[in-house]
A and B are shown apart, each in its own frame.
Chain A
Amino acid sequence: MDVIEVLREPWPWYVAGPLIGLTVPALLLLGNKSFGISSSLRHICAAVIPANISFFKYDWKKGIWNLFFVAGITIGGFIASFYLANPDKIVIADATQQTLSGYGLTSFSGLMPMEIFGTSSILSLKGLIFLVFGGFLVGFGTRYAGGCTSGHAITGLATLQWPSLVATVSFFIGGLVCTHLLLPFLFTLVL
């Protein structure tokens, strides 16, 4: 097997996790940047539609590094999908696949179920719920919480900040309640 073939395989958690963890010291040593991605959304608001709201009146250019960082993530996502793509189907835990099939989901081949996240969903109830409503909660919730998985769960916990533990536990409780109580209902609406 050559290197590219090895890279094409899905990477195990014990490779990916440490690499993500190393982003914390890498950004600190490159230029005193705290790893946290959701602030990019705030900088976009401040740069494009500040609308005289005090929360968006700050020197967003100080955070421009974050916009370069997310641009990099987008390009990285492109390279990984189009040049290092896994030749095989994604392997999903049997239990998860069975449960989701039970809710009426049928496509299990890509990173996301195309019947919900395909472009044809955009102008339908699926899009309204899974793209618009879901996305709104991600943007509103992360800013209200002062960070997301990267800022709180990784940087915050790695630097032993207890408010980040509160945030991380809240993320999980929200996710668990939504997965087990709300999602089954949402699936009955759209599938």
Chain B
Amino acid sequence: MEKVENTQVRALLEDDSDGSNTQKLAEGFTSNFKYLVTGLLFGIVFVKAEIVSWFRIQEMFRFDSFHMYGVIGSAVLVGLVSVQLIKRFNLKTISGEEVVIPDKTFSKGQIYGGLLFGFGWAITGACPGPLFAQIGAGYLAVIVTLLSAIAGTWTYGLLRPKLPH
């Protein structure tokens, strides 16, 4: 039984290391609330810095403002330094585990899928995260966008064996 589960987890990590969970210790329902709180703070930043604004995304793709480049650039830089510090000082998670960051493997999907997502990003003014923040911010029509994004993900799962990777 455990072997089956391990294979499944490995399969999940292998074809998709995005948003992965490499913690060994099982977490109860309530311990997930810390991720809700992290998401909540993150959602506030999203709206207050107007990253979820369709207009800011337009500015970015028209090279009319530095804002989004500044946000993404400084986020990457701070993330990079933090991860280096975690590695250098061998910091452990709060439950005492080694920090594991799965490697991403290259596939042509990063190009084809990336281009398609780029089109969607410019049209909706949102990536998946901002979709949730826009809905919370009261733009209820975005619920349709989110449902359609879920349908898009589902369609990818359906067509996956036939798509070039």
Q: Which residues of A contact B (CB under 8 A)?
A: 7, 10-42, 44-45, 49, 51, 53, 55-59, 62-66, 68-82, 84, 86, 90, 92-96, 99-100, 108, 111-113, 116-119, 121-122, 127, 129-164, 166-180, 182-183, 186
Q: What distance in Å separates the Cβ of A31 from its nearest Cβ neighbour in chain B? A: 5
Q: Are B23 and A33 in contact (CB under 8 A)?
A: yes
Q: Which residues of B contact A42 (CB under 8 A)?
A: 16, 153, 157
Q: Are A16 and B18 in contact (CB under 8 A)?
A: no
Q: Are A36 and B19 in contact (CB under 8 A)?
A: yes
- Provided the pairs A33-B20, A139-B156, A175-B119 are in contact, do residues A78 and B86 lie with their beta carbons within 8 angstroms? no
Q: How far is the CA of A12 from the CA of B71 in the complex (A)?
A: 8
Which of these, A7, A41, A146, contacts B128 with CB under 8 Å? A41
We find that the number of chain B residues with CB closer than 8 angstroms to chain A is: 131
- Provided the pairs A137-B117, A154-B79, A183-B123 are in contact, do residues A112 and B53 lie with their beta carbons within 8 angstroms? yes
Q: How far is the CA of A88 from the CA of B147 in the complex (A)?
A: 31
Q: Are A171 and B118 in contact (CB under 8 A)?
A: yes
Which of these, A13, A34, A72, contacts B39 with CB under 8 Å? A72
Q: Which residues of B contact A (CB under 8 A)?
A: 5, 8-9, 11-12, 15-23, 27, 31-55, 57-62, 64-80, 82-83, 85-86, 91, 93-95, 97, 99-107, 109-129, 131-142, 144-158, 160, 163
* 5 A-B pairs in the complex with CB atoms less than 8 angstroms apart: A12-B70, A31-B21, A70-B128, A84-B48, A176-B118
For the residues of A in contact with B, the DSSP-based class is: helix
Q: How far is the CA of A149 from the CA of B73 in the complex (A)?
A: 12
- Of all chain A residues, which has the CB nearest B61? A179
Q: Are A27 and B38 in contact (CB under 8 A)?
A: yes
- Of all chain A residues, which has the CB nearest B34? A30
- Of all chain A residues, which has the CB nearest B103? A161
Known: A45-B154, A148-B18, A163-B106. 17 other contacts (CB 8 A): A7-B48, A12-B49, A21-B76, A36-B18, A36-B19, A41-B128, A55-B156, A55-B157, A66-B19, A73-B129, A73-B132, A79-B136, A80-B44, A117-B54, A138-B117, A138-B128, A147-B18
- Provided the pairs A117-B142, A183-B122 are in contact, do residues A20 and B61 lie with their beta carbons within 8 angstroms? no
Q: Which residues of B contact A96 (CB under 8 A)?
A: 55, 58-59, 62, 64-65
Q: Are B54 and A179 in contact (CB under 8 A)?
A: no
- Provided the pairs A28-B99, A32-B99 are in contact, do residues A80 and B149 lie with their beta carbons within 8 angstroms? no
Q: What distance in Å separates the Cβ of A15 from its nearest Cβ neighbour in chain B? A: 7
Q: How far is the CA of A20 from the CA of B73 in the complex (A)?
A: 10
Q: Are B54 and A112 in contact (CB under 8 A)?
A: yes
Q: How far is the CA of A60 from the CA of B22 in the complex (A)?
A: 13
- Of all chain A residues, which has the CB nearest B148? A135
